[in-house]
Structure 1
Amino acid sequence: MELSRRTLLAGGFAAVLGGTVVGCSSGMDAGSTTKKNAATELTLWCWPGGLGKSVLDDTVAYFPDPKIKYSEVGGDFKQKLITTFNGGTSIPDITGIKGEDIASMLPQAERFVDLRTVGADAILGDYVEWKVKQATTLDGKVIGLPIDIGPTALYYREDVFTKGGLPGDPAAVAEQLKTWDDLFAAGVELKKSNPKALIVWDATDLYDIVVGQGTERYVSKDNTFIGDQDHIRKAWDTVVKAMTLKIDGKTASGSPDWNAGLDQGTVPAHVGAAWVALDIKSAVKSSVGEWRLAPTPGGPANFGGSFLTITKNAADPAKAFEVIKYMLTPDNQAKAFADAQIFPATPSAYDKPQLKVADPFFGGQVPIEIFGPAAEAIPVAYEAPSDVAVAQPFKDELKTVQSGAKTSDAAWSAAVSKAKSIAKRQGVQ
């Protein structure tokens, strides 16, 4: 999994929340002429692991005319897509857009079909509202239909928790660890009896999730920088507190040390999206059946999730829409979850048999009972096209606090200064 979904989400990715956006350029040349594709085939692009295999195979078989030509595009998907758009040839009829990239694509909405013009209004209500808003411009154009979302939960080792004097039952954990302060206090207690078991895997990794629990980010809807305000400082201070309490394992998720620590109990907990379950399952051998799930302390957040869009180059936008509508029905989203833990963006899928199965890896828990309520309660926050770039200095400077190179206040001042400069260069006030 580290080489598929986790790698695809890496590289400055900020926890993604819903919002309608306009703003800075995606890097695509808006001046080139749109050339319609040939009607003899329907081309579809996505990245490895982005679509469930059985759903993809079924969709290709279901739509034989024109034949769907699927291309799995590895590497930097966004850059390859932008390069293709700017080149003006071989542009796919349908393409995936990752959640962390959708905001930067909205200023180029003229490159994509407004799905409302081909019948999307009839089905948009099937998807969680905050996710649809991510792909909606301020003037109401919808350029993408959600493939999936990434609601978060607390993954934890019941055996390590109970041996350390903490509750092990998921309901008791949910009751006792409602806030980050609660989790950190539990981490202090756990460390007393088990000094190698640090409850926060990597404090800097936690930052995006804490920001993602709020309703504001770095740039306001009126294009003003707000990254120096209390909501961001509170997330910063939360992360720094884990460092100060010395319950920060400094073990980046997806790293070899993280993989080993999950099994050895030195990484006894992790807050991550539903798809992280595959990461953990692939990493551990001796702790199968010892893992449990509980709600994210501090409230739900989202990490990941993507879209299918139709380009203006599509020969038959209406047919292309029929394809993505079919591929992303609740039934097919449930199949994609069974295939590869691709978490449905359609709440009605949560009652499908594939999502109601008890998971022995989690001691017989039914994961949807944790992730489902979280998915429907993700806070809606405006995400500006510049947000990912503006957020990066905060994450970079937190690493200097973690390493001891700077105090929290000094790093905060540096982060705000750098973020303001980046925001200004991207046209933010």
Structure 2
Amino acid sequence: MTGRPTPRRTTTTALATAVAGTLLLAACGGGGSGNADDGTVELTVGLFGTFGYEEVGLFDRYEAENPGVTITYESTQGEDTYWPALQTRLASGSGVADVQGIEVARIADVVTNQADLWTDLRDTPAASAIGNYVEWKEPAATTADGAVLGLGTDIGPMGICYRTDLLGQAGLPTEPTALAARMQTWDDYVALGREYQAAAPAGSAWMDSAGGFYNAIVSTEQEIYYDASGALVHDSNPAVRAAFDTAAAAGQAGLTARLEQFVDPGWDAGFASGSFATIACPSWMIGYIKGKAGDAGAGLWNVTTLPGGAGGNWGGAYLGIPAASENVEEAAKLIAWLTAPEQQAEVFASVGNFPSTTAAIEMVGDATDPWFNDAPIGQIFSASSTNAPVQILGPQDGVIKSAMVQALLSVEANGVAPADAWTAALADVTNQVG
């Protein structure tokens, strides 16, 4: 997820027409009593990227339905910037928002090491929402003694997003089913990339980045950086090394545009300029691509399944309430409402963040996206979600992932040998994690 710092809202985004009729009827809730003498309360919300609430107008609607409640919202562009800043504020006990976003790669750290810094939602008005999710979502946010520290927002089932015009110019299939038939494995995906590079339009690479490719591959695995006992296995798990080597080889072969996701301005521009033809896209990236490619990109992009129809999960998030919040009751009402099935389905229809509640998943199964050539995104991402393994999450997943991505960037951008980059990644993890 990503998005730029956003001040207090002044406008409301139009609701997605595919679900607006039924969702508006179900979207009532809240009703805060406030914490000031005049019965008003100002709730602060700090997120990273595009959760969809601002884009769909949910904050404005909640205020309208809950007189006396105002919401001040800020979003940070990148999660890698957001999280360290939040850690500093949590440690000091000041400067935190009433509601803070938690990326799925951080949730194990929260439940393992930070339980005292967050509110147990079982003791708040959000308690009734805890059991509404796919089987793994809330257990991942639950401590060993049962405290629930976050309500799930979305999950990250995956597909392959691609530029139909660029593939057509290179003589490759442009229809989703025909393209999927040529990509039964990740090796097939790379081989197709070699075909593309041989006939690609000038200045266009097959994929955006080796790091993004790596994350897509490992996101189809159950065991990644930790095993079921909680032991670190990033350096011994053959799936991690194989994914790293596959992504590094793609970078060495010139199949990537050598762009760092969410950091390099050229990556944002590439969605419109055509500097890359394909990208492994979790559902939440659907809205991001639309925003960067704009109206001119409508009809140029499409979506197909991961190689072989594999399932996987990359990303997703939670909403938590820091223990330092002075508005716990009202914040809990807000996050329960924002993550309710009706709101989750509405956000998916607007920006592509795939629901994490079972009821919302049922609502969006038939969704299509006109911007993406009427791609059956509900079907594609529902199937990926169903086929995805239940991943083992660890407290340093985010740190390790970042180290791997940076090492791969050194291969594709600076010509570092893959074996040397792997060694550097392990050293970086050791320095940061131990």
Number of the residue aligned with 2:384: 374
User: For the structure 1 residues 137 and 282, does the alpha-carbon distance in structure 2 shift closer, same or farther, using more than 3 Å as the test?
Assistant: same
Contact 1:55-1:336 within 8 A present in 2 as well: no
Number of the residue aligned with 2:72: 70
How far, CA to CA, are the matches of 1:89 and 1:3 in structure 2? 24
How far, CA to CA, are the matches of 1:175 and 1:202 in structure 2? 23
Give the letter aligned to residue 213 of structure 2.
L
Shift of 1:79: 4.4
**1:271 corresponds to 2:271:** no
Trace 1:13-412 onto structure 2 (pairs within 5 A): 41=41, 43-47=43-47, 49-53=50-54, 54-64=57-67, 67-72=69-74, 74=76, 76-89=81-94, 92-106=97-111, 107-118=113-124, 122-194=128-200, 196=202, 197-229=204-236, 230-253=238-261, 255-284=264-293, 286-297=296-307, 299-313=310-324, 317=328, 320-352=331-363, 356-403=366-413, 405-412=415-422
Give the letter aligned to residue 67 of structure 2.
P
Shift of 1:328: 1.4
Give the letter aligned to residue 168 of structure 1.
T
Contact 1:38-1:315 within 8 A present in 2 as well: no
Give the letter aligned to residue 55 of structure 1.
L
Shift of 1:406: 3.2
User: For the structure 1 residues 192 and 91, does the alpha-carbon distance in structure 2 shift closer, same or farther, using more than 3 Å as the test?
Assistant: closer
How far, CA to CA, are the matches of 1:389 and 1:241 in structure 2? 23
User: For the structure 1 residues 314 and 411, does the alpha-carbon distance in structure 2 shift closer, same or farther, using more than 3 Å as the test?
Assistant: closer
Aligned alpha-carbon RMSD (Å): 3.2
How far, CA to CA, are the matches of 1:92 and 1:280 in structure 2? 28
Shift of 1:225: 2.8
Shift of 1:74: 4.6
Give the letter aligned to residue 72 of structure 2.
Y
Q: For structure 1, list consecutive stretches of 5 or more residues without a partner in the other structure.
A: 6-36, 425-429
How far, CA to CA, are the matches of 1:410 and 1:74 in structure 2? 33
User: For the structure 1 residues 195 and 79, does the alpha-carbon distance in structure 2 shift closer, same or farther, using more than 3 Å as the test?
Assistant: closer
User: For the structure 1 residues 268 and 120, does the alpha-carbon distance in structure 2 shift closer, same or farther, using more than 3 Å as the test?
Assistant: same
How far, CA to CA, are the matches of 1:385 and 1:95 in structure 2? 18
Q: For structure 2, list consecutive stretches of 5 or more residues without a partner in the other structure.
A: 6-34
User: For the structure 1 residues 178 and 126, does the alpha-carbon distance in structure 2 shift closer, same or farther, using more than 3 Å as the test?
Assistant: farther
Contact 2:46-2:97 within 8 A present in 1 as well: no
How far, CA to CA, are the matches of 1:306 and 1:116 in structure 2? 19
Contact 1:202-1:249 within 8 A present in 2 as well: yes
Contact 2:345-2:360 within 8 A present in 1 as well: yes
% of aligned pairs identical?
A: 28
Contact 1:52-1:340 within 8 A present in 2 as well: no
Structure 2 counterpart SS, 1:280: helix
Shift of 1:95: 3.1
How far, CA to CA, are the matches of 1:128 and 1:112 in structure 2? 22
Shift of 1:144: 0.4
Moved more, 162-171 or 266-275: 162-171
Structure 2 counterpart SS, 1:151: strand
Moved more, 84-93 or 132-141: 84-93
How far, CA to CA, are the matches of 2:205 and 2:304 in structure 1? 18
Give the letter aligned to residue 99 of structure 1.
V
How far, CA to CA, are the matches of 2:51 and 2:282 in structure 1? 15
How far, CA to CA, are the matches of 2:324 and 2:270 in structure 1? 48
Number of the residue aligned with 2:29: none
How far, CA to CA, are the matches of 2:158 and 2:349 in structure 1? 18
How far, CA to CA, are the matches of 1:396 and 1:112 in structure 2? 30
How far, CA to CA, are the matches of 1:211 and 1:124 in structure 2? 28
User: For the structure 1 residues 233 and 85, does the alpha-carbon distance in structure 2 shift closer, same or farther, using more than 3 Å as the test?
Assistant: closer
Number of the residue aligned with 1:13: none
How far, CA to CA, are the matches of 2:229 and 2:375 in structure 1? 44
TM-score, normalised via structure 1 length:
0.78
Deviations 1:26-85 (A, max 9, x none): xxxxxxxxxxx87953634223643513222222333336x3543436575444544444
Deviations 1:250-297 (A, max 9, x none): 234454544554445441111122232233323336553132111123
TM-score, normalised via structure 2 length:
0.78
Contact 1:350-1:356 within 8 A present in 2 as well: no
Give the letter aligned to residue 341 of structure 1.
G
User: For the structure 1 residues 363 and 73, does the alpha-carbon distance in structure 2 shift closer, same or farther, using more than 3 Å as the test?
Assistant: closer
User: For the structure 1 residues 364 and 195, does the alpha-carbon distance in structure 2 shift closer, same or farther, using more than 3 Å as the test?
Assistant: closer
User: For the structure 1 residues 2 and 224, does the alpha-carbon distance in structure 2 shift closer, same or farther, using more than 3 Å as the test?
Assistant: closer
Shift of 1:396: 2.7
